[in-house]
């Protein structure tokens, strides 16, 4: 199910879309103005920023004008850089024979780390083959390594790259490893929300800078979760009517039409 926009999610999306282009920290006043344009009130912005600070995503620093502001931590920048490859990269680019296998074993006395490991692999888009054996398209290797290293989990995991040699057809195995019905539904929900927006842009007047900014932020906030739920599985292994192709095309055109016009609203 496509998640609803939350203040914290929109702040993360803002930093991914526009915040990295600021020279220095983003002033709190700018965050309040820019998130306000997306329907987030000032108290919600401030409380969400505080939570992101506690998580180590944002660092409090003085902005160029001397006012209070927030910069991305090094880990947050790495997270967003990895996300760029997911969000804007070519879908289903790996050949069907290339897979990344994560095999892990965690001692019982550290089972909380087992839960963390499973949840992070799932969030990266891995499918479960068997207990302690998870699989993903091979192009996720670098991001997986960054994530496991950041969480200090590399001691429990071995990564392998290789092919599926049997015994079920690979397409049948993929349908066991991932819930394709649920993934298709998420793509369809994205289309229900944002395809009408694109049609309006195609047939109507050009949006104002604020309208472009708001439309792009909301579309990106919805879309950016999908390349994690659906990690870019090889197209030839998916159903013929797979809606992910159309969802990716809609987001790509929204990005092309809205991101740069929206940047004019972001500029102080």
pLDDT digits (tens, 9 = 90+) for 14-61: 999 999 888 789 999 999 999 999 999 999 999 999 999 999 999 999
Say if 222 falls within a structural domain: yes
Q: According to the model, what pLDDT value does residue 2 have?
A: 54
Binned at pLDDT 50, 70 and 90, residue 5 comes out as: confident
Rounded Cα–Cα distance for residues 172 and 184 (Å):
16
Say if 93 falls within a structural domain: no
Say if 89 falls within a structural domain: no
Q: According to the model, what pLDDT value does residue 268 have?
A: 63
pLDDT tens digits for 177-190?
A: 999 999 999 999 99
User: What's the CA angle centered on 131, arms 125 and 136, to 5 degrees?
Assistant: 25
19: domain CATH number is 1.10.10.10
Q: According to the model, what pLDDT value does residue 89 have?
A: 76
Boundaries of domain holding 125: 98-162
User: What sign for the dihedral angle of Cα 86, 92, 95, 98?
Assistant: positive
Averaged confidence pLDDT in the chain = 91
Q: According to the model, what pLDDT value does residue 96 have?
A: 60
Domain boundary among 19, 46, 78: 78
Rounded Cα–Cα distance for residues 251 and 238 (Å):
20
Domain boundary among 47, 78, 109: 78
pLDDT tens digits for 192-251?
A: 999 999 999 999 889 999 999 999 999 999 999 999 898 888 888 999 999 999 999 999
Say if 172 falls within a structural domain: no
First to last CA, the chain: 36
Say if 53 falls within a structural domain: yes
Q: According to the model, what pLDDT value does residue 111 have?
A: 86
Higher pLDDT, 50 or 66: 50
Number of C-beta neighbours around residue 107 at 10 A: 9
Q: According to the model, what pLDDT value does residue 169 have?
A: 93
Does 145 share its domain with 191? no
Specify the DSSP class assigned to residue 230: S
Q: According to the model, what pLDDT value does residue 217 have?
A: 96
Does 139 share its domain with 200? no
Does 220 share its domain with 258? yes
Domain boundary among 118, 137, 162: 162
Say if 41 falls within a structural domain: yes
Q: Which of 60, 3, 74 is nearest to 31 (CA)?
A: 60
Binned at pLDDT 50, 70 and 90, residue 64 comes out as: confident
Binned at pLDDT 50, 70 and 90, residue 85 comes out as: confident
Binned at pLDDT 50, 70 and 90, residue 150 comes out as: confident
Does 124 share its domain with 156? yes
Say if 88 falls within a structural domain: no
Does 158 share its domain with 183? no
Q: According to the model, what pLDDT value does residue 235 have?
A: 87
Does 156 share its domain with 192? no
Structure token digits, residue 51: 């939570």
Say if 235 falls within a structural domain: yes
Q: Domain count for the chain, please give it.
A: 3
Binned at pLDDT 50, 70 and 90, residue 1 comes out as: low
Number of C-beta neighbours around residue 123 at 10 A: 12
Percent of the chain topping pLDDT 90: 72
Percent of the chain topping pLDDT 70: 96
Q: According to the model, what pLDDT value does residue 43 have?
A: 95
Q: According to the model, what pLDDT value does residue 204 have?
A: 82
């Amino acid at each position: 199910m496509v998640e609803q926009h939350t203040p914290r999610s929109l702040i993360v999306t803002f930093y991914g879309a526009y915040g990295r282009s600021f020279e220095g920290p983003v002033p709190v006043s700018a965050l309040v103005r820019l998130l306000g344009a997306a329907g987030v009130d000032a108290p919600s912005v401030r409380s969400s920023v505080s939570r992101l600070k506690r998580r180590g995503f944002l660092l409090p620093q003085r902005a160029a004008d001397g006012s209070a502001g927030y910069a991305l931590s090094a880990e947050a920048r790495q997270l967003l850089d990895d996300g760029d490859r997911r969000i804007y990269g070519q879908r289903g680019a790996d050949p069907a024979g290339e897979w990344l296998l994560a095999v892990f074993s965690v001692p019982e006395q550290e089972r909380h780390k087992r839960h963390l490991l499973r949840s992070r692999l799932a969030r990266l888009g891995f499918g479960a083959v068997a207990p302690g054996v998870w699989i993903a398209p091979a192009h996720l290797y670098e991001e997986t390594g960054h994530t496991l290293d950041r969480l200090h989990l590399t001691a429990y995991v071995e990564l392998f790259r290789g092919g599926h040699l049997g015994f079920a057809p690979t397409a049948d195995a993929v349908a066991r490893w991932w819930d394709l019905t649920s993934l298709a539904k998420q793509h369809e929900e994205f289309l229900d929300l944002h395809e009408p927006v694109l049609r309006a842009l195609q047939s109507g007047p050009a949006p104002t800078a604020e309208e472009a900014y708001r439309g792009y932020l909301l579309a990106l906030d919805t879309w950016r979760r999908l390349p994690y739920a659906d990690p870019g599985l090889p197209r030839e292994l998916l159903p013929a009517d797979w809606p992910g192709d159309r969802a990716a095309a809609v987001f790509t055109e929204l990005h092309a039409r809205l991101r740069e016009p929206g940047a004019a609203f972001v500029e102080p």
